[in-house]
């Protein structure tokens, strides 16, 4: 009978003798070995093959694939919704995701070969792997119904592996977990009992060895149908209580482990909550609080400021507010001390004088007004550029992209910034703030060159910035800019930063956005919106094409603790004299130029008339 043209193509398969010998040798072994050992040996032998035929190549690959696939928790990706998955993946230029290895490249011939191996394998590692592959992947590879005998043999092999003398807990616990999951899946009560029994045996080993003591508890908690008895659960809880006593012992440095205290308590708290034992929940939190307080006392200031936060949170969780306040005092002292520990890192970059002159020639031109517009546009942050830099950083330095950051000011932690994946907005604000810092020297050169070329005085700045009357009569602008020009940065900051906020509020109002909000206590009264209210994504649309750019720019500079937060630091009296310096004032002046350039007077109307809409290019 001829094959239907719609039938899947099955490649001819012939396992080379040298590859078959590797499998045969492992199948005879009675000592401890792992799938990784088998995989390494197969890969080494496959590399020695000389001009294999297509059938031999397919046969060799069938064995390599069997042990190259990652099992269970060994892989995070679940592209096929199966127990076995790829070791890794990458995205091609065309956007397609490539998995390595890809089980979908196997066919019915390879599946049949695995069935044959599954029925004859004697070594538990091989028997577990081949039988589980057939059970797990039959549907994916060949769209076949799987037979329960493969699951049964896999369970028996996994249980044997988990109980093998000398097998590391790192491998034994996942083996027992898989046996339990399969037994539940096929509703095989005797095999479920066997799997749970070997898990509890491994638990006793882990407690005695002070190693991976949490693993079996977690495995059983993940499976509500594990059949765990109350007696068995009580034993687990008693073991955890004993571990808590040991790792909480601050008198013995070899036993004390605050992270283990937290881990044990975090597992016991849900149990005690489920049985209504509030006193034990309180005891767990106090154990965490005291352990991390002791840890903070042992640590250097930089580490202490972090670990003491855990202590304070635990005290707060049980209403010990006086204790939490006491720990806060310790955190503030540690923050101050940690600043003295920090090392300043500098990276010097030499910029040729001719490049600086060429740059300035493009910015500082014959017209003062055009020079102001070019300075405004040149130094406006581009949100897209900051996002591109973050993506490039994540690609070139993935470990750094995963590590969170903490920002300190004085004795306070003012912001926590997560990884790029977990906290994209936080990283965006942080990246924008860094970009402003890197550009400060160029902004200084541009403004200095403009002042020298055009002999600029305060009136010149005020006339441009207030050309569209965003700032009323401009007298406060004049006072603030005059203070800046005579290097009185304290006065300039306190006058001009509120003017930037007021000007931006007026700009939004002219773009059709509300500039007031209800008063929280007086029903009929309304309050003006603040920078924090205004610097949001939905407000950016009122500002044209570059609205997202100016919102990011002002948010990073004025109104977010993950950036400079200049407006809020000044408004609440938190800014230090050192923080109000020439560099930060340059960005305040740039902000005013930016607002002055955003709207332009309509030529054919009186000077105080404004164009009815924002420019399509967003301004500068």
Per-residue pLDDT tens digits for 257-308 = 999 999 999 999 999 999 999 999 999 999 999 999 999 999 888 888 889 9
C-alpha pair distances (Å), 389 with each of 117, 118, 434, 540, 614: 51, 51, 11, 21, 29
- Percentage of the chain beyond pLDDT 90 is 68
Q: Which of 495, 470, 474, 477 is nearest to 597 (CA)?
A: 470
Q: What is the pLDDT of residue 619?
A: 37
Q: 89 φ, ψ to 5°?
A: -155, 165
Lowest mean pLDDT among 15-19, 248-252, 404-408, 523-527: 404-408
Residue 537: band (very low, low, confident or very high) from pLDDT cuts 50, 70, 90: confident
Where residue 433 falls (left for φ over 0; alpha for ψ -120 to 50; beta otherwise) is alpha
Q: What is the pLDDT of residue 600?
A: 64
610 DSSP assignment: B
Beta strands in 46-127 (DSSP E): 70-71, 84-85, 88-91, 97-100
**What are the residues whose beta carbons fall under 8 Å from the beta carbon of 67, sequence distance 6 or more?**
35, 36, 38, 39, 42, 129
Tokens of 577: 């004299």
- Report the distance separating Cα 404 and Cα 406, nearest Å: 7
User: What is the separation, in whole angstroms, between the first and last Cα of the chain?
Assistant: 76
Task: Assess whether pLDDT exceeds 50 at residue 319.
Answer: yes
Residue 3: band (very low, low, confident or very high) from pLDDT cuts 50, 70, 90: very low
**What are the residues whose beta carbons fall under 8 Å from the beta carbon of 518, sequence distance 6 or more?**
525, 526, 527
Tokens of 70: 């990652």
Q: Which of 565, 588, 562 is nearest to 429 (CA)?
A: 562
Q: 16 φ, ψ to 5°?
A: -55, 150
Q: Which of 441, 461, 438 is nearest to 451 (CA)?
A: 461
**What are the residues whose beta carbons fall under 8 Å from the beta carbon of 249, sequence distance 6 or more?**
255, 256
CA angle 303, 305, 306 (to 5 degrees): 70
For CA atoms 266, 268, 272, 274, the dihedral sign is positive
Q: Which of 382, 417, 394 is nearest to 552 (CA)?
A: 382
Q: 204 φ, ψ to 5°?
A: -60, -40
More confidently predicted of 67 and 90: 67
Task: Assess whether pLDDT exceeds 60 at residue 7.
Answer: no
Q: What is the pLDDT of residue 368?
A: 94
How confident is the model over 592-609, as a mean pLDDT?
A: 65
pTM of the model: 0.66
Tell me whether the omega of the peptide bond preceding residue 569 falls within 30 degrees of 0, making it cis: no
Task: Assess whether pLDDT exceeds 90 at residue 311.
Answer: yes
CA angle 178, 183, 189 (to 5 degrees): 145
Task: Assess whether pLDDT exceeds 60 at residue 1.
Answer: no
Domain ranges of the chain: 229-342, 370-598
- 512-530 pLDDT, tens digit each: 888 788 888 887 788 888 8
Pairing of strands 526-528, 97-100: unpaired
**What are the residues whose beta carbons fall under 8 Å from the beta carbon of 571, sequence distance 6 or more?**
none
Q: What is the pLDDT of residue 613?
A: 37
Residue 5: band (very low, low, confident or very high) from pLDDT cuts 50, 70, 90: very low
Q: Provide the angle, in degrees to the nearest 10, between the axes of the packed helices 582-598 and 458-465.
A: 40
Residue 616: band (very low, low, confident or very high) from pLDDT cuts 50, 70, 90: very low
Task: Assess whether pLDDT exceeds 90 at residue 397.
Answer: no
16 DSSP assignment: -
Lowest mean pLDDT among 117-121, 297-301, 554-558, 615-619: 615-619
Using CB atoms within 10 Å of the CB of residue 182, give its burial: 0 to 12 exposed, 13 to 18 middle, 19+ buried: buried
Q: 423 φ, ψ to 5°?
A: -140, 65
C-alpha pair distances (Å), 333 with each of 121, 298, 302, 328: 65, 14, 10, 9
Q: What is the pLDDT of residue 603?
A: 46
Pairing of strands 526-528, 516-518: antiparallel
Helix (H) or strand (E) holding 528: strand 526-528
- Report the distance separating Cα 286 and Cα 456, nearest Å: 65
CA angle 455, 459, 464 (to 5 degrees): 95
Task: Assess whether pLDDT exceeds 50 at residue 51.
Answer: yes
Tokens 């942050």 identify what position?
Answer: 381
More confidently predicted of 90 and 4: 90
Pairing of strands 412-417, 405-409: antiparallel
- Report the distance separating Cα 104 and Cα 90, nearest Å: 16
- Percentage of the chain beyond pLDDT 70 is 93
Tokens of 558: 């004025």
Tokens of 32: 């401890």
Tokens of 605: 């109307």
Lowest mean pLDDT among 5-9, 13-17, 278-282, 498-502: 5-9
- Report the distance separating Cα 589 and Cα 364, nearest Å: 16
- 441-480 pLDDT, tens digit each: 999 999 999 999 999 999 999 999 999 999 999 999 999 9
């Amino acid at each position: 009978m001829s094959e239907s043209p719609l039938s899947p193509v099955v490649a001819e398969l012939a396992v080379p003798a040298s590859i078959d010998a590797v499998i045969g040798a492992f199948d005879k072994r009675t000592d401890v070995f792992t799938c990784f050992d088998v995989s390494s040996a197969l890969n080494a032998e496959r590399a020695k093959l000389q001009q294999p035929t297509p059938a031999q190549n397919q046969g060799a690959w069938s064995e390599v694939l069997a042990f190259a696939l990652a099992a269970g928790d060994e892989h995070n990706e679940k592209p096929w919704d199966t127990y076995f998955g790829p070791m890794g993946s990458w995205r091609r230029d065309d956007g397609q995701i490539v998995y390595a290895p890809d089980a979908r490249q196997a066919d019915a011939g390879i599946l049949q070969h695995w069935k044959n191996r599954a029925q004859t394998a004697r070594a538990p590692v091989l028997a577990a792997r081949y039988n589980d592959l057939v059970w797990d992947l039959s549907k994916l590879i060949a769209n076949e119904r799987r037979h329960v005998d493969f699951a049964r043999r896999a369970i028996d092999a996994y249980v044997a592996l988990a109980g093998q003398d000398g097998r590391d807990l790192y491998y034994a616990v996942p083996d027992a977990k898989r046996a339990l999951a399969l037994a539940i899946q096929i509703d095989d009560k005797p095999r479920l009992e066997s799997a749970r029994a070997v898990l509890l045996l491994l638990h006793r080993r882990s407690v005695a060895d002070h190693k991976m003591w949490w693993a079996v508890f977690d495995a059983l908690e993940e499976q509500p149908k594990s059949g765990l008895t109350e007696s068995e659960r009580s034993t687990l809880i008693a073991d955890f209580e004993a571990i808590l006593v040991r790792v909480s012992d601050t008198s013995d440095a070899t036993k004390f482990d605050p992270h283990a205290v937290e881990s044990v308590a975090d597992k016991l708290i849900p149990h005690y909550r489920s049985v209504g034992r509030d006193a034990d929940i309180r005891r767990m939190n106090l154990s965490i609080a005291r352990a991390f307080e002791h840890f903070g006392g042992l640590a250097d200031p930089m580490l202490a400021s972090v670990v003491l936060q855990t202590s304070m949170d635990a005290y707060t969780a049980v209403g010990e507010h006086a204790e939490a306040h006491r720990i806060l005092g310790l955190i503030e002292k540690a923050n101050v001390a940690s600043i003295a520990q920090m090392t300043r890192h500098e990276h010097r970059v030499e910029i040729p004088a001719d490049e600086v002159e060429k740059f300035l020639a493009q910015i500082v031109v014959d017209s003062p007004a055009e020079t102001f517009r070019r300075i405004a546009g040149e130094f406006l942050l581009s949100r897209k550029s900051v996002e591109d830099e973050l993506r490039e950083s994540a690609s070139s330095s993935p470990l750094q992209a995963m590590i969170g950051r903490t920002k300190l000011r004085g004795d306070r932690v003012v912001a926590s910034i997560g990884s790029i994946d977990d906290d994209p907005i936080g990283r965006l604000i942080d990246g924008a703030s860094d970009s402003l810092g890197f550009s400060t020297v160029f902004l200084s050169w541009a403004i200095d060159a403009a002042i020298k070329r055009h002999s600029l005085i305060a009136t010149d700045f005020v006339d441009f910035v207030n050309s569209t009357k965003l700032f009323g009569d401009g007298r406060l602008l004049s006072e603030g800019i005059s203070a800046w020009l005579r290097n009185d940065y304290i006065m300039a900051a306190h006058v001009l930063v509120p003017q930037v906020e007021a000007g931006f509020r007026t700009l939004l109002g002219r773009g059709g956005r509300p500039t007031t909000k209800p008063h929280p206590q007086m029903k009929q009264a309304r309050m003006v919106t603040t920078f924090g209210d205004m610097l949001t994504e939905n407000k950016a649309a009122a500002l044209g094409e570059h609205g997202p750019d100016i919102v990011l720019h002002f948010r990073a500079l004025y109104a977010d603790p993950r950036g400079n937060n200049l407006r809020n630091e000044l408004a609440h009296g938190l800014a230090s004299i050192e923080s109000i310096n020439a560099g930060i004032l340059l960005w305040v002046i740039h902000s005013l130029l930016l607002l002055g350039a955003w709207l332009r007077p309509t030529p054919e109307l009186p000077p105080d008339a404004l164009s009815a809409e924002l420019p399509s290019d967003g301004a500068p």
